[in-house]
Structure 1
Amino acid sequence: MTNSIFSQLVLPLSLFIIMFGMGLSLQRQDFARVVKFPKAVTIGLLGQMVLLPAMGFLIAALFVGTPALAVGLVLLAACPGGTTSNLISYHARGDLALSVTLTAITSVLTIITIPIVVGLALAVFKNTNVPIELPITRMVLTLFVITLLPISLGMLVRGLRTQLAQRLEPKISAFGAIFLGLLIIIILYEQGDSLLGQLVSAGPSTLLLNVVMMAIGFLLAVWFNLNDRQRASITVEVGVQNSTLAILIASTVLNDGTIALPAAMYSLAMYLTGGSFIIWRRWQGKRAVAL
Structure 2
Amino acid sequence: MGVTIEVLLPLALSIIMFSLGLGLGLDDFRRVATQPRAFVAGLVSQVLLLPAVAFLVAVIWAPPPALAIGLMIIAAAPGGVTSNLLTRYAGGDVALSVTLTAVTSLAAMVTVPIVVLLAFAHFGGEGAAAGLSMTGIAIRMFAIVVVPAALGMALRGARPALAARIEPAVARLSGVLFVVVVGAAIWAERGNIATYFAAAGLATLALNLVMMAIAFWGPALVGCARHQRIALSLECGLQNGTLAIAVVAALGLDAAHAVPAAIYSLLMFATAFGFVALVRGGRDARAAG
Q: TM-score scaled to structure 1, two decimals?
A: 0.94
- Structure 2 match to 1:125: 123
Amino acid at match of 1:183: V
Cα deviations by residue, 1:17-58 (Å, 9 ceiling, x for unpaired): 110001011111111111101101011111111111111111
1:195-246 C-alpha deviation (Å, 9 max, x unpaired): 2110111111111111000000011222112112111111111222111100
- Which structure 1 residue ranges, 4+ long, deviate > 6 Å from structure 2? none
**Residue 43 (structure 1) aligns with:** 41
Q: Distance in 1 between matches of 2:277 and 2:116?
A: 34
The Cα of 1:128 is off from its aligned counterpart by 8.4
Bigger mean CA deviation after superposition, 55-64 or 70-79: 55-64
Secondary structure of 1:65's match? coil
The letter for the 1-side match of 2:180 is L
1:65 to 54, 63, 84: 63
Rounded to whole Å, the distance in 2 between the matches of 1:34 and 1:151 is 19
CA contact (8 A) 2:4 2:181 kept: no
With over 3 angstroms needed to count, the CA separation of the structure-2 counterparts of 1:131 and 1:76, relative to structure 1, is same
Deviates more, 1:17-26 or 1:140-149: 140-149
Does 1:290 pair with 2:288? yes
Checking the alignment, whether the CA contact within 8 Å between 2:22 and 2:152 is kept in structure 1 is yes
Q: Which residue number corresponds to residue 55 of structure 1? A: 53
Cα separation, partners in 2 of 1:116 and 1:56, compared to 1, 3 Å: same
2:272 counterpart of 1:274: yes
Partner of 2:132: 134
Instruction: Give the C-alpha shift of residue 8 in structure 1.
Output: 2.5
Superposition pairs of residues 26-41 of structure 1, within 5 angstroms: 26-41=24-39
User: Among 194, 197, 221, which residue is 2:195 paired with?
Assistant: 197
In structure 1, the residue corresponding to 2:271 is in which secondary structure? helix
1:154-169 → structure 2 map (5 Å cutoff): 154-169=152-167
How many aligned positions are there? Answer: 289
Per the alignment, residue 11 of structure 1 pairs with 9
Report the equivalent of 2:177.
179
Equivalent of residue 110 in structure 1, options 108, 111, 124: 108
Q: State the Cα distance separating 1:263 from its structure 2 match.
A: 0.5
AA in 2 matched with 1:124? H
Contact 1:126-1:132 at 8 Å conserved across structures: no
Secondary structure of the 2:24 match is: coil
* Structure 1 residue 7, shift from structure 2 partner: 0.7
| Distance in 2 of aligned mates of 1:241 and 1:185 | 16
The aligned counterpart of 2:215 is: 217
Letter in 1 for 2:110: I
Question: Which runs of 5 or more structure 1 residues have no equivalent in the other structure?
Answer: none
- Does the CA contact (< 8 Å) of 1:72 and 1:259 recur in 2? yes
Separation (CA, whole Å) in 2 of partners of 1:21 and 1:150: 8
Quote the Cα distance in structure 1 between the aligned partners of 2:106 and 2:284. 37
Summarize the Cα distance change of 1:169–1:64 in structure 2 as closer, same or farther, 3 Å threshold: farther
What are the residue-to-residue correspondences of 1:83-94 with 2, within 5 Å? Answer: 83-94=81-92
- TM-superposed CA distance for 1:129, in Å, is 11
Q: How far did 1:127 drift?
A: 4.0
Shift in CA distance, 30/84, structure 1 to aligned 2, threshold 3 Å = same
Q: CA deviation at 1:277?
A: 1.1
* Residue type at the aligned position of 2:124: K
1:238 aligns with 2:236: yes
